[in-house]
Structure 1
Amino acid sequence: MAKLRADRKNYKKAFTTHADAYDKWNIGSPYSQRLLLCYCVECGLKCLIMQDNNIHKISQADDETVKILGSHDFKVLLKKVNQAGNYTFKSFPTEYNDTVGTSDYHQLCRYSIAPANKQITYLTEFDSTLVQIKDWLKEVV
């Protein structure tokens, strides 16, 4: 299956749209809200990567940057914008004893997978870090 083309303007629009929806959220599934936050941060970081590299289309990127732009891993994206050391994420177990980290948190949200022992603090801590990134991105994107 071919991937859809998304340019820097699309990442910026997605970041803005998802951030606004997240910030105005007042009813509905917390997992859906978290998923918006994940995609908001992911799109914002990808936009910033393209901005920092002065590219508008992924086809203008070098091979390493193309690979990074294809990632869902917050650590990988943060590292590319020299911010990995400024944000901390704690991995945690799911109800199935799988480990959730920065590369798969979006899947936990997408599939509404519960944290182990229904420890909601795992989710609130992860979300808190993503909100900090979202707020920083609003200043730089």
Structure 2
Amino acid sequence: MMPDLSALNLDQTQLKAIERLLNEVELLINNEPIDTVNLLYKLQNEIVQLMGQKNKPETNIIHASVSDLRKAFNAHWSVVKAQPKKDISCHLLIFYAVECGLKSIWLKRNNLTGTDKIADQTLLTKYGHNFSIWIKELRLPATIAGKYPDYDKIPSFRLARDKSSWDLGKAHQAWRYGVQMNAKDEKVLVEWLESICTWIQDNIDGR
């Protein structure tokens, strides 16, 4: 039975490594029964197809340019700063302001014009809301993110109802659906996101 490689969600580097391995194996089994050779050819073909799919732009998301993301950051952050009292709607806007700002800066530093130009689209589809990835990529100051490799200043939070712990990337879901966080955790999280917005504001127009 041939394994389902697509279920493994392999990246380009892993697929290329497997392809090289299969090429080496092919040299060793040329004198083996035809069924074995056929299976190998099927695996090779599947890897080639998967590599092609990985290189194709993601079609299920709306892509944004550097300018779009910069404008979105400024719009969200301006609304938040204008509110005298912050509620969960403001918190949600802070979250999206951070997301837009970090992505805009990352694209500009990597000389890319928009999210459609990102070679590894899992950065958007799998890690789009995982700020830890973007913060590490951008090497934010240790005063904000904590020191490498632990980045221990990136906060997590607990839900008030069952004390379950969640990573930062899930915060937008809690705020969007009105699920109450632990009050202390929420305060720390919001203040941390605000510090990220301040850093973004200082860096979004630079290199």
TM-score (norm 1): 0.86
Q: Which residue of structure 1 aligns with residue 139 of structure 2?
A: 82
Identify if the C-alpha distance between structure 1 residues 53 and 113 changes in structure 2 by more than 3 Å, giving closer, same or farther: same
- Greater Rg over alpha carbons, structure: 2
Identity among equivalent pairs (%): 23
Aligned residue type for 2:201: K
Q: How far apart are residue 130 of structure 1 and its match?
A: 0.5
Q: RCO (CA 8 Å, sep 6+): is it higher in 1 or 2?
A: 1
Of residues 89, 92, 98 in structure 2, which corresponds to 1:35? 92
Does 1:59 find its partner at 2:125?
no
Partners of 1:58 and 1:37 lie apart in 2 by 20
Stretches of 4+ aligned residues off by more than 3 angstroms: none
Does 1:113 find its partner at 2:179?
yes
Aligned residue type for 2:193: L
Does 1:25 find its partner at 2:83?
yes
* 3-state SS of paired residue (1:33): helix
The Cα RMSD (Å) is 1.9
Does 1:68 find its partner at 2:129?
no
Does 1:137 find its partner at 2:167?
no
Q: Deviations over 1:54-92 (max 9, x none)?
A: 1112232222xx322441011111111112743213323
Ranges in structure 2 where 5+ consecutive residues have no aligned partner: 1-58, 146-152
* 3-state SS of paired residue (1:103): helix
Partners of 1:84 and 1:61 lie apart in 2 by 24
Aligned residue type for 1:18: H
